[in-house]
Each structure stands twice: as structure tokens, then as C-alpha cells.
Structure 1
Amino acid sequence: MLTKLIIPSNYKPKNRKSSDGYFITVAGNVGAGKSTFTKLIGEKLNFNTSFEKVDDNPYLEDFYQDQARWGFHLQLYFLSQRFQDQKAIGEANEDHIQDRSIYEDAEIFAKSLYDNGKMSQRDFETYSELFYAMMNPYLVRPDLMVYLDGSVDTIIERIHQRGRDMEKKVPREYWLNLHNRYEKWLKEYKESPILTVNINQVDLVENPEQIDAIAREIEYLKNGKIENLQQVR
């Protein structure tokens, strides 16, 4: 099965009007293909798109060389960028698909740095206080999270295919740690339904016909036709 729909048991649906835009956020480990997914599915559905700032990120290369020194700076930069992006999405109230969710910043990456001794308790508490102050009432919740799920081997293979030297040098244990944190976080996430996409089997570049299939599933979810979603699988 290429995809699987998860409705969290503690999920509380948003109060949506028919005129409201549909907001999708795309989550997944580094190298999972979030930017490609966002671009291709956004084009297919005619959604607005926004992308994580990586190539012009002023901290990312320094972070991979010295995570303890630059982790707090990097997370504040991402939090600022993501907050501005998600606030603009809510204000525009149009159909939109976003590369990387704001929730991953806090629940995956900042916590990983703290738990592994690469962010001090003081910095982590400062970051967390800022994050939760931003969440309500300023940010719109997503209507759907697409989670790109795959094995660590698939993640590492895609990282090497992508060709960013700073990521190629990172040991496997780092990606495995993030993978395990994603697995745990997915069970706790409650902001929206989750459409998991199996990237061990899905490659939208090599198999463009998969774009149509996944876009059709998202359209069914957008229109509240979950029964149709079950029929196309």
C-alpha cells in the first residue's frame, strides 16, 4: 500500500467554512523528499506552495560541523521562518501545501539536540517557551499532514543522491535517531489527520503516475469523501 490514512484518536476537527482554504503540511526526515513532493503535488492540485529555506540558510553548514555550538541558533532561525510562513498561510486563507511543519522543529529537532546534550537546558527552555507562545492564537492548524515515511536506508540513499556534502558526512546514527523520534512523534500528533506516504515504494520523479493517484486521494480528503479514498487503494 502506497499510502495510509490515520485519524488520531484525540483529534478535534477544525471549524471550517466552505470558503476556507485547505492547508497541507508535509513532514518527514531529512532527505525524505518533502520539497519534491510539495512542488509536484502543489502543481497538480494548483495549491500555493512554500519551501523550507536550506540553500540560503546562514546556519545550516555550521550546524553540521558543530551541532552543539550552532543548534540553538539554527532552531531559532527555522522557528522564525516557519512562523512567518504559517502566519501568512492563515492570513491568505487559500489552498496551500507547505514543505516541513513547524511541529517538527520543536518535537523532533530541538528535543533531539537537548536529549543528546547538544542544547543546554536553558536554551531548550527558552526555545520551548517561545514556540508554545507562538502556537496559539497566532497560527492556523493544518487540515492534513502528509508524512513521508520510509526506512533509514531509503533516507540515506536519497541524501546521497541529492548531493549536499554537509549531509553526506553525517553518520548513520544521526539519521536513525531522527527516524525513531519521528516514529514516536507520529503516535502523539493530534493537530490533523495524517496521510502517510511510503517512500520505499513512492518516487514521484521516477513514477509520475503516482502524482495523479496521491493528488486524487488528497482531493477526496479535502472534499470529505473518505469512503472514496478507501476505494482507490
Structure 2
Amino acid sequence: MMIVVSGMISVGKSSVSKAVGEALGLEVFYESVDDNPILPLFYTSTPEEQERNRYPFLLQLHFLYTRFNAIKQAIACGQAILDRSLYEDYYFAKINHKLGRISDLELQIYEGILASMMEEIKGMPKKAPDLNIYLKASFDTVMKRLHMRGREFEQDESLVEYYRLLWAGYDDWVNEEYKASDVLIIDMDKLDVVHNQDDHDWLIQNVKGKLETLELKTA
């Protein structure tokens, strides 16, 4: 079984991944954040520094590389949950291209590498996730949780419009672009799976129910 958890920055992917992983006995592969040398530079550099050092492009390559390694490890262990996926990485790359932070040539290079990785995945025993748990929330909830998380490099007010642009396109990405698996949408405006046991139990119950439905469909 392979599950991916998707959603906006700070919406609660790691917490949901941990809760579902523990409940279902799945190993969790978290997004490379705390050990990512480029992420703080991406958030804190000036536009001129980003242009000179190509931090947005380097960041997307770093995520692509670490995510692909996580996928291979997850497939090897057979039962896993991934905090984000390659499919979602491409969404971030396109947003940064739209903003002019990634050039046309860089996006072509990124797409070529991604296509090669997807071809390799097609030859693996598990070619796609069984389920995508999409965490949906209002922009106010996203920003509140981002501030509560307290990563200093994420807090600058100049980043708010970047966050808003990412947030605004997420539903379209899920509904129109993501085709790899069934999707379970979870409204994070109403849930606190860390501090509220009822919310935690509701989440697990719904994930199990969705997986049981998928098993019946493929039986």
C-alpha cells in the first residue's frame, strides 16, 4: 500500500502523515525540509540574489531528487506513506515558472528529469499511489498554522502573495491535473489531529473507509 499526503505549505501534512502511518502501520517518508540547505535561501534571498544564484530552480531539483529517493525506499518497503509526491512538486515548479523565478529553459530541464524519473517508476512494482489524502484549508487557516509553526525563514510579510498564489491553484491542481490515484479530501479548517483525539479518530476512520472502498472496487 502506498499513500501520499498533499496540500498547501503548513496545512498539516506531516501531522496527518504521522497519524495515518501510526494507525495503519505504514512507514512515513517526510519531505526534506529541516535538512534542506536551499530552502532557507529560497525564502530569505532578494529577487536579485535569486536571479543570480538560481535558488528556485536549485530548490525544485533538490526536492525532485530527495522525493525520488523517498519513493524508491517506500516501494522497497512495500507499505508506506509519503509527505508530498513528485506530482505535487511539478505544481510548485510551474508556479515559480509563472512568477519568472524559473526560466523556460530551466523548466524544460526540470520536465525532462521528471519524465525520466516517471519512466523509471513505471518499471517498479508499485507504479502509483493507492490514495492521495488532500488536505484542504482556507487561506486564513494556512497562514495561522504557518505562523504557529514558527520557521523564521517562512515568516516574512513579502511572502504572503507567494503563499496566496500557491493556495489559490491547489484545488485546480487536484481536480484537473492529478490523475495518479483516487483522492480523499480532508477539510483542515475543522480538524486538529494533534491536539484533539476525536479529530484524530475521525481522520483515521475516514482514511480506512476510503481504503476499504478502493479495495472493493479492485476486487
What TM-score do the two structures reach when normalised by structure 2?
A: 0.88
1:17-55, Cα deviation, whole Å (9 max, x unpaired): xxxxx1110000111011111112211222111101111
- Structure 1: which amino acid aligns with 2:154? E
Post-superposition offset of 1:109: 0.9
2:62 equivalent to 1:77:
yes
Post-superposition offset of 1:226: 8.5
Structure 2 gaps, min length 5: none
Q: What SS is found at the alignment partner of 2:8?
A: coil
Structure ranking higher on relative contact order (CA contacts 8 Å, 6+ apart): 1
Aligned equivalents of 1:209, 1:61: Cα separation in 2: 35
- Structure 2: which amino acid aligns with 1:113? N
Q: What SS is found at the alignment partner of 1:197?
A: strand
> Structure 1 vs Structure 2: percent identity of aligned residues?
36
Aligned equivalents of 2:66, 2:153: Cα separation in 1: 21
- What corresponds to 2:5 in structure 1? 26
Aligned equivalents of 2:173, 2:196: Cα separation in 1: 29
Given candidates 117, 121, 134, the residue that maps to 1:138 is: 121
Post-superposition offset of 1:179: 0.8
What TM-score do the two structures reach when normalised by structure 1?
A: 0.83
Instruction: Say if 1:225 and 1:84 are closer, same or farther in 2 by CA, change over 3 A.
Output: closer
- Structure 2: which amino acid aligns with 1:56? D
Figure out how many residues of one structure are paired with residues of the other and give that number. Answer: 204
Aligned equivalents of 2:5, 2:43: Cα separation in 1: 23
The structure with more helix, counted as a fraction of residues: 2
Aligned equivalents of 1:213, 1:33: Cα separation in 2: 15
- Is contact 1:44–1:211 with CA below 8 Å preserved after alignment? no
- Structure 2: which amino acid aligns with 1:88? Q
Aligned equivalents of 1:137, 1:127: Cα separation in 2: 16
- Is contact 2:7–2:13 with CA below 8 Å preserved after alignment? yes
- What corresponds to 2:74 in structure 1? 89
- What corresponds to 1:193 in structure 2? 182
| Structure 1 moving runs of 4+ over 4 Å | none
- What corresponds to 2:107 in structure 1? 124
2:143 equivalent to 1:156:
yes
2:170 equivalent to 1:182:
yes
